[in-house]
Structure 1
């Protein structure tokens, strides 16, 4: 690259600073090589989402979309005729387009990119997880997030799948001759999955405040309604890693199981991006990823010469935790990245339904 080209690129980057703004989870001035183009890309994704809702969801209208500012939760509450499944399908499409936008112009190992991908996984039904670009983030990648939320999400997904596999293991169930034994086994599958979930969050990022990783949501939506506080005896009497399978790599690979009376201490750090420089693109001028089962997205990077530089060197601010670490992870924080970046590690609704289905079936 010639000196004049570098100088021109520097001038373009400098002139873009005044135009930069927060776009999605990103502060595009510090984590994107083309802030103006990135903002335009997101605006186009928003337009696609608006058209999808207004044209495809029953009772869709611009007035509903505009009054809610495009908020999925608001539209579902204020305009229930639209149907949350339809809204989520449109949100899934927008999230895929936002991944394209970020992959074209921004740091793809950052906390912000991870949050963008988590949105996609939370809205899309049966997404192709293996086809996602830069997911999860490789270990020790430059300018990566202080907590690898991609690894946490991957473990949570495998753990919740194993919960169903465990409860439907006919080999184990076939060895039981009484109803109480079958009921206890079903409860043990649930308790082991709860303990594995805790290990996935606390163990993967031990220094991070767990409330920033949606731990409170998992407790409120799953563990507390499932009576986590009563799981101690089941965790003592059953081999979660071996006999019940949660130690297998395809079940989360969990090796340490916590009990209600023996929880790991909460971390205190906020989320932040590590120091480093990532040249855009990481995977060449063009990359392809798979949306759904077979629909390929081909993405052309905006500039093969542009770079985005991370500036956070170490640490992350300490935050005040009000939870005890025994049954909750409550705490508030002024995060070093935009608030809400870890909140997409949500509890899938099908997981909640599955747990209570297991309990009902075990008592029949």
Structure 2
């Protein structure tokens, strides 16, 4: 018989993941190169996602797999018929969401992060912020593993109480790992997107990728909290611990001044499929081949004259507001919590 805990966690994951079934429709179809094809593709993915979740009959791992596969197929919809929006803020946020809810998501991902100076790119390089968070998580896990290995080695070498200080040193190193990893992720938002509101740039994203209750990651620090890292970051040298993808490691009480801008697109428009006519990419055991559809002139005409003629670094009207990005991350946070609960059962 399934435990109550499993049923509750599965129900939470089911509800949360089902709520994301239309996530890709955050990109309005009339902005796409082929509006009708994009709308049709999205509907098909959403329908199949819902059916997949129902067929799981409460199996948590199955539900997570449905979410992974559906996000991949939404990416295919973009490559096929909305390739002119793949550098936009909303697509970059969607890929961030994919990494957050899918444990087997791996780079490379089509059109992500957006190349430097890409047309219609997001004003904040959300892809680079997310990449820094992902690499910091991996470096933090390696750092904690090194600490665990040291614990085993040191325990076997302790023959008397005179060596008890080694254990305290190990605990301090574990705290350094946790603080440096979180700081590297948080600091990226200020360093990569200094003019953007930090929460929109991803300053709070580390909570999605560094769940503090994840077993085997914080076992030596059961009461660890980011707010406790002020003193630790004063003493630790994060680069010496293997954190190499960021230059700044801000402390909880010592952030730079906040930016004030929302997210918007800059740099003109995408006039041809960035990947060429045919795109091939892979995730886990799946390999996809996607053919881009033709440019829908009516979709272009429906956009503003300013959008159609903007070039260089002229900014489009704000597309992603505080509420949109914050709502997306809040929804993803609920999903991640449910997914972690299911996977850890």
Q: TM-score, normalised by structure 1?
A: 0.68
Q: Greater helix percent: which structure?
A: 2
Deviates more, 1:303-312 or 1:275-284: 303-312
* 1:113-128 alignment, distance < 5 Å: 113-128=91-106
Are positions 1:93 and 2:69 aligned together? Answer: yes
Partners of 1:136 and 1:128 lie apart in 2 by: 13
Q: What residue number does 2:42 align with?
A: 42
Q: How far 1:122 sits from its partner (Å)?
A: 2.4
What are the superposed Cα offsets for residues 11-58 of structure 1, whole Å, 9 maximum, x if unpaired? xxxxxxxxxxx961112223x111121111100101111221222x12
* 1:287-326 alignment, distance < 5 Å: 287-292=279-284, 294-303=285-294, 311=307, 313-314=314-315
Partners of 1:198 and 1:120 lie apart in 2 by: 19
Q: What residue number does 1:202 align with?
A: 190
Given that 1:105 and 1:280 are in contact with CA atoms closer than 8 Å, whether structure 2 keeps it comes out as no
What are the superposed Cα offsets for residues 341-360 of structure 1, whole Å, 9 maximum, x if unpaired? 5668859669999xxxxxxx
Deviates more, 1:158-167 or 1:342-351: 342-351
Residues 334, 118 of structure 1: CA spacing in aligned structure 2 closer, same or farther, 3 A cutoff? Answer: closer
Partners of 1:344 and 1:267 lie apart in 2 by: 24
Residues 169, 335 of structure 1: CA spacing in aligned structure 2 closer, same or farther, 3 A cutoff? Answer: closer
Residues 126, 198 of structure 1: CA spacing in aligned structure 2 closer, same or farther, 3 A cutoff? Answer: same
Structure 1 unpaired stretches of 5+: 1-21, 59-81, 248-252, 318-332, 354-364
Partners of 2:145 and 2:252 lie apart in 1 by: 25
What are the superposed Cα offsets for residues 304-337 of structure 1, whole Å, 9 maximum, x if unpaired? 68695782733876xxxxxxxxxxxxxxx94497
SS at match of 1:279: coil
Residues 338, 34 of structure 1: CA spacing in aligned structure 2 closer, same or farther, 3 A cutoff? Answer: farther
What are the superposed Cα offsets for residues 228-265 of structure 1, whole Å, 9 maximum, x if unpaired? 22212221212112x11112xxxxx1111111231122
SS at match of 1:169: helix
What are the superposed Cα offsets for residues 266-306 of structure 1, whole Å, 9 maximum, x if unpaired? 211111111412123112111111122x4211001111686
Are positions 1:148 and 2:125 aligned together? Answer: yes
| Number of residue pairs matched by the alignment | 284
- Compare relative contact order (CA 8 Å, sep 6+) and give the higher one, 1 or 2: 2
Q: What residue number does 1:159 align with?
A: 136
Given that 1:201 and 1:213 are in contact with CA atoms closer than 8 Å, whether structure 2 keeps it comes out as yes
CA root-mean-square deviation: 3.5
Structure 2 unpaired stretches of 5+: 1-22, 155-162, 214-222
Are positions 1:256 and 2:248 aligned together? Answer: yes
What are the superposed Cα offsets for residues 108-166 of structure 1, whole Å, 9 maximum, x if unpaired? 11112212322322232312312x21111111101101112111111111101111211
Are positions 1:109 and 2:87 aligned together? Answer: yes
Partners of 1:181 and 1:113 lie apart in 2 by: 44
What are the superposed Cα offsets for residues 166-222 of structure 1, whole Å, 9 maximum, x if unpaired? 122268766895211111111111111121121122222111112224534646985
Residues 27, 315 of structure 1: CA spacing in aligned structure 2 closer, same or farther, 3 A cutoff? Answer: closer
Residues 304, 289 of structure 1: CA spacing in aligned structure 2 closer, same or farther, 3 A cutoff? Answer: farther
Partners of 2:30 and 2:324 lie apart in 1 by: 13
Q: TM-score, normalised by structure 2?
A: 0.71
Residues 334, 288 of structure 1: CA spacing in aligned structure 2 closer, same or farther, 3 A cutoff? Answer: closer
